Amino acid sequence: MAVEQVAGRVQLRYRSRGLLRNAVRRLIKKPKAVVAIAALLLLYGSGIFANLLAPYPYTEQDLHAVRQGPSAEHWLGTDTAGRDVLSRLMYSMRANLILTVTSMATGTLVIGITLGLVAGYYRKWADTLISRLGEVFLAFPGILLMILMAATIKPRVLELTRAFEDSTGITGLVRWGLADYLVIFFALAAVSWVGMMRLVRGQILYLKEAQYADSARAMGASTARIIFVHLLPNALPPVIVSISMGLGAIAGAEVALSWLGIGIQPPVPSLGNLIRGGQDISLLRNHPHLILSPVIVVGTLIFAWNLLGDALNDVLNPRAR
Amino acid sequence: MGAFIVRRLLWLPFLLLIVSLVTFALGTYGPGDPVEVRLGTRANPQTVARLRRQMGLERPFFVQWGDYVRKALKGDFGESLTYRGQTVGGLVAKKIWVSARLTFAAMFIGIGLGIPLGLLAALKQGTWLDGALVSFALFFNATPVFITAPFLIILFALKLHLLPTSGWDGLFSTKIIMPALVMGLPGIAGLARMTRASAMEVLGQDYIRTARAKGLSEFTIQVRHVLRNALIPVITILGLSLAGLVEGAFITETIFGIPGIGRLAVESIFHRDYPVIMALTLIPACALVMAVLISDVLYAVVDPRIRYT
């Protein structure tokens, strides 16, 4: 009897601790979450392992076989220069993945969460400063700010990269497109932190008033302990949902930038320039496979992130459950 | 309420000043020399120096910025670098009317379809129709225009031959249908989602039960009681949805060959025409700030429970 009671209590404690573990268990039971995760693994997996999986190098031209439809040799056909569309798509996914993850990690997670915590917890002038700065960034329609940044910063970044190559003797950075990556990364990060900052700030403002935060303070817990042990974990559920949806939005923004010609530069393929390349009316009429494959890939990618976000919301948001 | 509006209005000029400072700093420090763009790299140094003085480029940065803002307030955004002899203001003025009409059409479609669909989904909660509308909304809410546009062009223009592939003939022509639909789709989806969530909350309220108990007709209940209350939170996103439309306009106008500010902006990026890019960043930013302010105020007017302090 006594043993059973203790065992029950232990189990109870174990269960109450694992909010996230619990959420994951509920998540994988949801069909839409499984579909979304499978799609993301497939798309990003093909990007990560592009150099192993891609049937051709992305620059290899076969001028005897241009604008061909899907066939056994070229599963998704060839483009106007006879390059394999499938291989180009895979390498595009890799660029998209690198940019999406780095921008999310720095812009949204580090900058957004830190500033949100500071603004929400300390209030006063720090809050005013951070919130007003956020309003300035929100005032620009996102893509315009990204375009302006990408267009104006690029020459400087290119200069800096060249200078870095000259002074260190490392070569190939410019050719490899490091400057492109840096510029797009800055532009994406600059636009994506505001939403997260506002979300975290609101959460902290609300949670700070909770009784357990007061009790912790009364027991003499340090500010860092209150923030990182008590407030942040409780603020996490909406943050996780927003990260999932945000990854979809950033992935889409990268495609938009390269579509506009200010993202990754050819000959390195990107989803945006693949779509742009197939957009000509005569190509649309006679060779729709050129645009349909990148468009379907991008559509699936963005939808998968949002579907996952929706499933996460069902699981993590007590009101939606 | 009054104090809130006054405070927001007082902050507005500062916000716009900072926005212009960011734009100007990026435009000035970012790209190459505007004198070089005009004269080429092998120009005579004396000519270069003279033009620099003429354009006021050797003055301190903040003086130049003040000058830019003062002129911009009068509608003078300088001269375009690609269209020789044309002022940026003149170029933009011609195109902005086109974009305004296209945006209006897209917003009309978004509101006209999104709100009824959201209400329908809420009323048919849990049925297949609700499920279908929710999935539709989830998909299109986040799908960029360059994804939907090719599908619509292939389907309606190239296969069914119902609509022209591109062009612009004003508000009342078949040419506007596809671009407005492409731009409006995320709006339909977003508004439907928001209306559905908000209407479901209203449907659970006591006053709806009271209205039913009073024996009011279902139509009166849905329009008078549900819709009017459900629309309150929706208003707040109308202002922000304008931002989405501006972004969509960039790509939509380029795809469909519509001579609006979006296509002008894309062309200017390709030609590195910085005065035009700066003006086209600044003008929509101002419009957006105003739209958000208006929707915030409207929110408080429609819902007497909202009190800004």
Work out the pLDDT band at A18, boundaries 50, 70, 90: low
Q: Roughly what angle, to the nearest 10 degrees, separates helices B261-271 and B228-256?
A: 50
CA B308 to chain CA centroid, nearest Å: 26
Burial-class residue A21 by CB neighbours within 10 Å (0-12, 13-18, 19+): exposed
Helix (H, G, I), strand (E, B) or coil at B79: strand
Q: How many CB pairs under 8 A join A and B?
A: 129
Quote the CA–CA distance of B31 and B40 in Å, as a whole number: 15
* Residue of A156, A261, A262 lying closest to B30 (CB–CB): A156
Cβ of residue A320 closer than 8 Å to a chain B Cβ: no
| Structure tokens, B268 | 């200017």
Give the model's pLDDT for residue B244: 74
> Which of A132, A147, A156 should we substitute to test contact with B (largest number of B Cβ atoms within 10 Å)?
A147
Q: What is the mean pLDDT of residues A233-255?
A: 86
Put simply, the answer to whether B281 touches A303 (Cβ < 8 Å) is no
Give the model's pLDDT for residue B186: 87
Tell me how close the Cα of B222 comes to any Cα of chain A, in angstroms.
23
| Structure tokens, A193 | 């932190």
Cβ of residue A73 closer than 8 Å to a chain B Cβ: no
Tell me how close the Cα of A58 comes to any Cα of chain B, in angstroms.
23
> Which of A148, A149, A194, A254 should we substitute to test contact with B (largest number of B Cβ atoms within 10 Å)?
A148
- Residues of chain A contacting residue B154, judged by C-beta atoms under 8 Å apart: 284, 288
Q: CA-based Rg of chain A, rounded to a whole angstrom?
A: 24
Q: Roughly what angle, to the nearest 10 degrees, separates helices B145-152 and A289-316?
A: 130
**What is the full DSSP assignment across A183-215?**
HHHHHHHHHHHHHHHHHHHHHHHHHTTSHHHHH
Quote the CA–CA distance of A315 and A305 in Å, as a whole number: 15
Q: What is the mean pLDDT of residues A250-259?
A: 87
Give the model's pLDDT for residue A38: 92
- On whether ipTM exceeds 0.95, the answer is no
Cβ of residue A151 closer than 8 Å to a chain B Cβ: yes
Cβ of residue A39 closer than 8 Å to a chain B Cβ: no
Per-residue pLDDT tens over the stretch B27-74: 777 655 667 666 777 777 788 788 778 777 778 888 888 888 888 888
DSSP at A86 = H
Which run of H or of E encompasses B9?
A: helix B2-29
Q: Give the nearest chain B residue to A276 (CA atoms).
A: B146
Quote the CA–CA distance of B180 and B108 in Å, as a whole number: 9
Give the model's pLDDT for residue B153: 86
Quote the CA–CA distance of B215 and B209 in Å, as a whole number: 10
Q: Which residues contact B172 (CB under 8 A, 6 or more apart)?
A: none
E strands, B69-141, in order: none
Q: Distance between terminal CA atoms of chain A?
A: 35
- Residues of chain A contacting residue B158, judged by C-beta atoms under 8 Å apart: 284-285
Residues 274-313 of A with CB under 8 A from B: 275, 278-279, 281, 284-285, 288, 291-292, 295, 298-299, 302-303, 305-307, 310
Tell me how close the Cα of A145 comes to any Cα of chain B, in angstroms.
7
- Residues of chain A contacting residue B153, judged by C-beta atoms under 8 Å apart: 281, 284
Q: Which residue has the higher pLDDT, A303 or A22?
A: A303
Tell me how close the Cα of B56 comes to any Cα of chain A, in angstroms.
20
CB atoms under 10 Å from CB of B20, counted, come to: 20
- Residues of chain B contacting residue A284, judged by C-beta atoms under 8 Å apart: 150, 153-154, 158
Quote the CA–CA distance of A111 and A99 in Å, as a whole number: 16
- Give B89-302's CATH code, choosing from 3.40.50.11890, 1.10.3720.10, 3.30.465.10, 3.40.640.10: 1.10.3720.10
- Residues of chain B contacting residue A291, judged by C-beta atoms under 8 Å apart: 150
Per-residue pLDDT tens over the stretch A202-216: 888 888 888 888 888
Give the model's pLDDT for residue A12: 45
Helix (H, G, I), strand (E, B) or coil at A220: coil
- Residues of chain A contacting residue B125, judged by C-beta atoms under 8 Å apart: none
Burial-class residue B136 by CB neighbours within 10 Å (0-12, 13-18, 19+): middle
Put simply, the answer to whether B165 touches A281 (Cβ < 8 Å) is yes
- Residues of chain A contacting residue B151, judged by C-beta atoms under 8 Å apart: 295
Q: Distance between terminal CA atoms of chain B?
A: 7
Share of chain A above pLDDT 70, in %: 91
Put simply, the answer to whether B247 touches A248 (Cβ < 8 Å) is no
Phi-psi region of B254 (alpha: psi -120 to 50; beta: other; left: phi over 0): alpha
Quote the CA–CA distance of A135 and B16 in Å, as a whole number: 10
Give the model's pLDDT for residue A71: 76
Work out the pLDDT band at A14, boundaries 50, 70, 90: very low
Give the model's pLDDT for residue A5: 53
Phi-psi region of A123 (alpha: psi -120 to 50; beta: other; left: phi over 0): left
Give the model's pLDDT for residue A92: 87
For residues B88 and B267, the answer to whether their CB atoms sit within 8 Å is no
* Residue of A153, A262, A275 lying closest to B30 (CB–CB): A153
Instruction: Walk me through the domains of chain A, giving residue ranges and CATH numbers.
Output: 31-53+83-320 (1.10.3720.10)
- Residues of chain B contacting residue A256, judged by C-beta atoms under 8 Å apart: 144, 146, 247, 251
Tell me how close the Cα of B207 comes to any Cα of chain A, in angstroms.
21
The one-digit pLDDT tens for each residue of chain B (309 residues) are: 677 778 778 888 888 888 888 888 877 776 556 676 667 777 777 887 887 787 777 788 888 888 888 888 887 888 787 777 788 888 888 888 888 888 889 988 988 999 889 988 988 888 898 888 888 888 888 788 888 888 888 888 788 887 777 778 777 777 888 899 998 888 888 889 888 888 888 888 888 888 888 888 888 888 888 888 888 878 777 776 777 777 788 888 888 888 888 888 888 877 777 788 888 888 888 888 887 778 777 777 777 666 655
Put simply, the answer to whether A148 touches B144 (Cβ < 8 Å) is no
Quote the CA–CA distance of A144 and B289 in Å, as a whole number: 14
Per-residue pLDDT tens over the stretch A30-44: 888 899 999 999 989
Q: Which residues of A295-313 are buried (b: 16+ CB within 10 A; e: fewer)?
A: bebbbbbbbbbbbbbbbbb
Helix (H, G, I), strand (E, B) or coil at B87: strand
CB atoms under 10 Å from CB of A188, counted, come to: 29
Nearest Cα residue to B117 out of B141, B94, B93, B97: B141
For residues A316 and A240, the answer to whether their CB atoms sit within 8 Å is yes
* Residue of B139, B265, B288 lying closest to A139 (CB–CB): B288
Share the mean pLDDT of chain B: 82
**Whether the predicted pLDDT of A238 surpasses 80:** yes
**Whether the predicted pLDDT of A155 surpasses 80:** no
Quote the CA–CA distance of A188 and A42 in Å, as a whole number: 24
For residues A119 and A128, the answer to whether their CB atoms sit within 8 Å is no
Helix (H, G, I), strand (E, B) or coil at B173: coil
Give the model's pLDDT for residue A13: 46
Tell me how close the Cα of B212 comes to any Cα of chain A, in angstroms.
26
Give the model's pLDDT for residue A37: 92
State the maximum Cα–Cα separation within chain A, in Å, rounded to a whole number: 82
Q: What is the mean pLDDT of residues A74-95?
A: 80
Q: Which residues of A24-40 are buried (b: 16+ CB within 10 A; e: fewer)?
A: eebbeebebbeebbebb
Nearest Cα residue to B100 out of B289, B284, B293: B284
- Phi and psi angles of residue A81, each rounded to the nearest 5 degrees, phi first: -105, 15
Cα dihedral A194, A199, A201, A205, rounded to 10, equals 160
- Residues of chain A contacting residue B273, judged by C-beta atoms under 8 Å apart: none
State the maximum Cα–Cα separation within chain B, in Å, rounded to a whole number: 88
Q: Which residue has the higher pLDDT, A5 or B203?
A: B203
Give the model's pLDDT for residue A15: 46
